[in-house]
Amino acid sequence: MAEFLTPKADKTRVSKIPKTPINIPPSPFMKKLGFGTGVSVFRWDRSPRPDATRSPWAVKKLNKRDLPQFIEQRLQKEAELLKSLKHPNIVGFRACVPGKDGRMTLAMESCESSLADRIEDRRNDGMGPFESEVILKVALGVARGLDYLHREKKILHGDMKSYNILIKGNFDEIKICDFGVSMPLLPDGSVSDPDNFVGTSVWSPPEAVGLSDGPVSSQVDIFAFGLVLWEMIALQIPHTDDLDESDFEVSITEDELENRIGMMQIFLSSKSTRPALPPVDLNDSYNSIMEIFYCCTEQDPSVRPTAQLLVEWLEDLTGEKPMGKGGDEILVDH
């Protein structure tokens, strides 16, 4: 029998098919989800087509036209990087186009909420730590995303925290987002220019904030990963016990909040980088979670586990099947 060959696409024909223009509406016509340095994120509920419904997009836009150039460069870099990533635990790229106001806009897959939102809701409802099985599920999803970034794409996320972990449904999908300060990794797992590291200090390890001589490497993400587990137990931001609640008032302006965050980071950089456990009762089902937390938040980055080891550990704990390259599930014969 002759070998079957897939017919090659007619590139000349494909190039003649006009692309549907993407017309992202102005900010006032979208729901605001959050903001960062110089940018805001909105939910765009796209109008359905006659033949299909369309999923909502998350839209990241520059706040002003006269922002420092590095902020626009950061958004461009994030768009280019996100376009190259394809993994079920990484938020999906959708488009990068100028909005109707002329400002650069990055459109991404939309999720229902961030892990930080879920933590805040649980704290406001007066509930205790997340169930151990939920923490392990989030941990495995994030670890798989980090393993893909570190080993396959050679990328340091650089700002791992609950705000940059997105959740769909009842923790049905867990996705890492916000790659604006990501850095390329060298073959040994370190970054070539550690002085340009930009993270959030309360999630940063000692080597990243000048408290130790260790290299800035993929282990920065591992330390922050450990603090995310702590967040799901403590239901608060790490190292914020001594701060006044007014520092988190929602009525202040975005510029005021960013200034306060900057001042808090200067203060917090001198605090212990492994937060004390909150006074909550944890049953034996949390033992493995606490073991992972302690391993990931070791002061010495060389003794922290890799993302690959975390994935293997968590797959064993949860009974989840391993995933193949690019996130495809591997069927294992037992």
Positions marked catalytic? 159
Which of 230, 36, 231, 228 minimizes the C-alpha distance to 146?
Answer: 228
Q: Is the dihedral of CA 151, 155, 159, 161 positive or negative?
A: negative
- Complete edge-to-edge strand list for the sheet that includes strand 165-168: 113-114, 165-168, 173-176
Helix (H, G, I), strand (E, B) or coil at 51: coil
d(Cα 317, Cα 77) in Å, to the nearest integer? 36
d(Cα 86, Cα 92) in Å, to the nearest integer? 7
DSSP-derived letter for residue 8 is P
d(Cα 35, Cα 38) in Å, to the nearest integer? 8
In this structure, the number of other CB atoms found within 10 A of the CB of residue 245 comes to 7
DSSP-derived letter for residue 327 is G
